Homo-oligomer: A and B are copies of this chain.
Amino acid sequence: MTITPPALSVFEALESEVRSYCRGWPAVFDRAQGSHMYDEDGHTYLDFFAGAGSLNYGHNNPVLKRALIDYIERDGVTHGLDMSTTAKRAFLESFQNNILRPRDLPYKVMFPGPTGTNAVEAALKLARKVKGRESIVSFTNAFHGMSLGSLAVTGNAFKRAGAGIPLVHGTPMPFDNYFDGAVEDFLWFERLLEDQGSGLNKPAAVIVETVQGEGGINVARAEWLRALSELCERQDMLLIVDDIQMGCGRTGAFFSFEEAGITPDIVTVSKSISGYGMPLALTLFKPELDIWEPGEHNGTFRGNNPAFVTAAATLDTYWADGQMEKQTLARGEQVEQGLRAICDENSGISHRGRGLVWGMEFEDKPRASAVCKRAFELGLLVETSGPESEVVKLLPALTMTPEELDEGLRILARAVRETA
């Protein structure tokens, strides 16, 4: 496939230098369907990125599209602040029936604003309010968002520097396997908590991703998560699972923490919750934590009703039974086989992942970017992650067909070969 460099003039002239994905993928995208995106020049791309995990059901999923257009056509409420609406009720009922009740999860639902960072900000505020303490523990290579509260618990030094103020009230701890097993889990963390002379400000909460997406596809083991959950209970800290990228079925189960058998105190959900790529976010928490005063946290776009409509449709369509989970795990095995083959054929690459989130780490770090660049030229959208962009990250839609997965893996294998 040959790609003509598109005329990007208005983007270059008018859009801030902060723009980023458009630089690695120099095309003007026009349409998208399922796992394919189409640019203005008629090129087709197979999408292994899925809106950074926001499009678990593919682009413009027809079932959701139908529900969405119907809703718009009939003049359903679009913008609802936090008013009660028919669409919100349908979503809440579907969420309760399909997600919370079958999993015996007791959560209250908060709509904190329609983006992941809103959900994290609300979670941190609530945890501090409940515990009366300021400090939050996060993990190495965590990513939780760009507003100041979330950024303070995000690991990336480059993004932290953007704050323009010293980021405080957060302390990083080693994520699972940070020392390749050389140090006992939570040795440092628990010792700091127990030692009255340690100098650690006692945390209100711990915030963790079960699989660190931006951080390089670092997969926490179920036993590590269980131990963390027990540590939090033992030490009177709340456990916040940030399931923004790994929730909504990405790892198989609806919530990524289900496999570990834990019940976090607070859970943040966003990205794929609307299903259609529209902004929506939830902060879930145990009912005894619901000490918010009415309006103490607010926001204009908390009630994005078209997103409620598509969200309810995804839950009713894909989460009424356990099929989606099984399918994702099966597709995950397929991806793993493909990656294992690539790693076997090439030296200096390792792979890891869970469900349908996978990473290939390159010892020769810049090669990861070269692979993505070559893959783009070959019609595949993949991105890097990790602190030095040394990991190629795979986030295909959960609805991607086995054939599409195979096609993508073939292109990836070729891109790896051609960047050797």
Question: Are B79 and A68 in contact, with the CB atoms below 8 A?
Answer: no
A5-45 vs B: 1/0 string, CB under 8 Å? 01010110011111111110111111111000100100000
Q: A22 — which chain B residues lie within 8 A by C-beta? A: 82-84
A373 to nearest B CB, angstroms?
A: 15
Which 6 residue pairs spanning A and B have beta carbons closest together?
A128-B164, A79-B277, A197-B387, A20-B295, A147-B147, A18-B292
A256 on the B face (CB < 8 A): no
A92 touches B296 (CB 8 A): no
Chain B residues, Cβ within 8 Å of A86: 28-30, 40
- Interface stretch of the complex, out of A148-156, A330-338, A353-361: A148-156
Task: Report whether B75 and A294 are in contact in the complex, using a CB–CB cutoff of 8 Å.
Answer: no
Q: Which of A188-196, A246-254, A257-265, A318-326 contacts B (4 or more CB under 8 A)?
A: A188-196
Contacts of A59 in B (CB 8 A): 75, 77-79
Stretch from A107-115, A229-237, A339-347, A405-413 forming part of the interface with B: A107-115
Q: In the complex, A387 Cα to B200 Cα: how many Å? A: 13
B298 and A20 form a contact (CB under 8 A): yes
A78 with B277, Cβ < 8 A, contacts A11-B84, A147-B118 known: yes
Minimum Cβ distance to chain B for residue A157 (Å)? 5
How distant is the Cα of A31 from the Cα of B77 in the complex, in angstroms? 5
Q: Are B179 and A89 in contact (CB under 8 A)?
A: no
Question: How long is the Cα–Cα vector from A111 to B15 in the complex, in angstroms?
Answer: 8
Task: Verify if A183 is at the interface (C-beta below 8 Å from B).
Answer: yes
10 contacts between A and B (CB under 8 A): A16-B292, A18-B295, A28-B86, A54-B79, A113-B117, A115-B279, A118-B147, A121-B148, A125-B162, A195-B387
Q: Does A290 reach chain B (CB closer than 8 Å)?
A: yes
Interface size class of A (residues with CB under 8 A): 35 or more
Residue-wise interface mask of A (131-171) relative to B, using a CB-CB cutoff of 8 A (1 in contact, 0 not): 00011001111100111111011111111111111111111
Say whether A166 contacts B169, CB under 8 Å. yes
Q: Which of B18, B54, B301 contacts A110 (CB 8 A)?
A: B18
With an 8 A cutoff between CB atoms, is A177 at the interface? no
A374 to chain B, nearest CB (A): 18
Given contacts A16-B290, A147-B121, A197-B215, are A21 and B81 in contact (CB under 8 A)?
yes
What is the CA–CA distance of A192 and B108 in the complex, to the nearest angstrom? Answer: 36
Asked if A211 is at the interface (CB within 8 A of a chain B CB), the reply is no
When distances are taken between beta carbons in the complex, the residues of chain B under 8 Å from A206 are none
Find out whether the CB atom of A115 lies under 8 angstroms from the CB atom of B75: no
Say yes or no: is A350 at the interface (Cβ < 8 Å to chain B). Answer: no
Please state if A165 and B85 are interface contacts (CB–CB under 8 Å).
Answer: no
Residues of B within 8 A of A128 (CB): 163-165
A59 to B296, CA, bound (A): 27
